[in-house]
Chain A
Amino acid sequence: MEPEQPSPDTEHESLPEETHLPSPTLYPIGFAIGIVVLLVGLIINPLLISSIGAAIAIVFAILWAREATAELRGEPVVVEPERRESRATAADPHGVTLEEVPDNAVTRSVFLEGATLGLGAAIGGLITLPVAGFAVLPGFLGQTQHKVDLGPIEKFPLGKWFISTFIVDPAEGEVSRRTVFLRNNGNVADPETKQQVPSFTIISNRCVHLGCPVQANGPIGQKYTGTASFKEHTLNGPVEFQSVIPAGYGCPCHGGQYDPEGNRIAGPPVRALDRYDFEINHGRLVLLSTYSVSKVVGTGGQAQIYKYKDVGPGEHVDGPEQFFYPINPPHH
């Protein structure tokens, strides 16, 4: 590219170069604010706010124009003179040596390093902590207990097993569908009150090895068992009851086998099948939360259930390996 030839205009220096630049000033900002207030006022309240905006704009416009034309009108521009303090001393008459700074002094660079890292750490913390909390905490907090209404207890023939599937939380829908093996044990004497109370055996079908769906080993359906299967419409929606005669339960994943009370007979399951707590509410069977069981001695209403807090599959509740899981996440 060829260098620019000087044009005729720039050859004459009419005014010094510096005065072609406007002096730095804040008045344009005030003018802009005034215009904005005027426009906003047209929407909100034309009479009052626009007038205020117009007044602000006019005032700042006048100030701005006055400053911009100051040189033309001949007013002097006030500038502070440059000063330097003399650092001349007796030892150093020209003031040229630098001051000695001890090594461990908090110089500006040292301070800036620390402040940068500290502020960076603070930013990192501000971003990651809420995000991590959001990622982690919702899975642990707010776990609620759900009650499952299974219908009037008269519907359950005495001593007969049923495979029952139901929806635990209708709001969550199909994803909360669960299955239990259920038997009405009749009335037994409550150990404390000595009253006759209904007894049910309600066993969860989730294997306690790794959570696979356990199957009943036995004939299923009225054709083979002689007991009618039925459906009940409850507060939790429709609940199915299939009659079954289980000689035990087996898991299709890794070969776990259980007896009809849920005790482990063979395979890798680490304890007995989990059971559901229940209550009788207005004559209806209502399931509460699950709990874990190490073993069951005896059968039916006379069974002694060794009960533990609900833990996940694969966790031992007794024996030396129970100490592998000292702290469990909060369960309902």
Chain B
Amino acid sequence: MATTYRRKPTKAEIRRQKMEELVMFPIDWLEERSGLIGGLKYFLFRNVPSDINWMQTLGSAALTAFLVQAITGVILAMYYVPSADINPRTGKPIAWESIVNITDHLTLGWLVRGMHRWGASVFIILMFLHMGRVFLFGAYKYPRELNWIIGVLILVNGMMEGFTGYLLPWDQTAYWATVVGINLNGTAPFLGPWLAQFLRGGQEISGETLTRFYSLHMLLIPGLIIGLITLHLYLVVRLGVTSPPWSKEAAGGEPEEEDGARLRPGLTRPVPRPSGASAMQAEPGGQE
């Protein structure tokens, strides 16, 4: 730093500095013992290409939808009862009654249940749109192939989450959609009938199927989704997000065409020489 002449700090400035130290103390404490603050800072302040556009928000929008599902799901689980037994006093299945209870009697139950039900559709739509955007941008190519595969697995798990959750209200739509869905699996050659019986927990759909699907819907599949999302986000941060491929200032510029013809350079690459020369000759010196 250049030499500056400073007067003595005023009382206000000393107070301010002490306040800052007080505020920073827990953050520094955490950082020294875990490194998490540094990681968070890296995540927040890392550079992304300057020409990214709104289409690239679909991924985080899908994550938001998933978080809505997780939170509303946890709360619904406090009131939902996964039992297909009939309540002797009312003659209705207990699971179905718990859903009616949530919808009609509990304060704001209709809102949480509605958010969870429509959040599922929104989550799946956003995943498909995000997948389409990634395909359009060619962002499944090197080095992001693994991330694409993880994303497809998240999509499949998301749809399985929807399928298992669909049974839980134990109404007509739920029951029969699940009958067909499980029998669909049962038609797979060789292992199909075994898989179908495992999913059903028996030869026919019963209370065992409901509790089984509840366990899958609450524990196994969300666990898989959370794990896969974590990997997915880690790879996004590590590998970076792509610029829109049609952008004139695309980060990284254009790869070589097969015939070394048209190229649209990034700013760090010199313009290649016209035909006759291999475009690779323009390479040296532009990088570091």
Interface, chain A (partner B; CB < 8 A): 135-136, 138-140, 143, 172-176, 210-213, 253, 311-315, 324-329, 331-332
Contacts and interface: CB of A to CB of B under 8 A. Distances in A.
A326 B190 contact: yes
Contacts of A311: 193
Interface residues of B, number: 29
B180 A253 contact: yes
A253 B192 CA distance: 21
B82 to A, nearest CB: 13
A324 B190 contact: yes
B203 interface: yes
A332 B187 CA distance: 20
Contact of B84 (A175, A212, A313, A325): A175
A210 B205 contact: no
Contacts of A143: 202-203
Contact of B208 (A139, A313, A329): A139
B129 to A, nearest CB: 29
Contacts, number: 76
User: Taking each of B179, B187, B202, which has the highest tally of chain A beta carbons within 10 Å of its own beta carbon?
Assistant: B187
B217 interface: no
Contacts of A174: 84, 86, 93
A88 B126 CA distance: 77
A140 B93 CA distance: 25
A213 B176 CA distance: 8
Instruction: Specify which of A136, A311, A315 lies most central, judged by the most chain B CB atoms within 10 Å of its CB.
Output: A315
A213 B180 CA distance: 10
B206 A315 contact: no
20 contacts: A139-B202, A140-B198, A172-B207, A173-B85, A175-B205, A175-B207, A211-B180, A211-B182, A211-B183, A312-B193, A314-B183, A314-B186, A315-B187, A324-B189, A324-B192, A325-B189, A325-B190, A325-B192, A326-B190, A329-B194
Given A173-B85, A175-B207, A212-B180, A139 B201 contact: yes
B163 to A, nearest CB: 14
A35 B253 CA distance: 80
A172 B206 contact: yes
A212 B179 contact: yes
Contacts of B183: 210-211, 312-314
Contacts of B63: none
Given A174-B86, A312-B193, A210 B176 contact: no
Contacts of A315: 186-187, 192-193
B243 to A, nearest CB: 46
A331 B186 CA distance: 15
A143 B183 CA distance: 18
Interface string B93-131: 100000000000000000000000000000000000000
B134 interface: no
B74 interface: no
A312 B190 contact: no
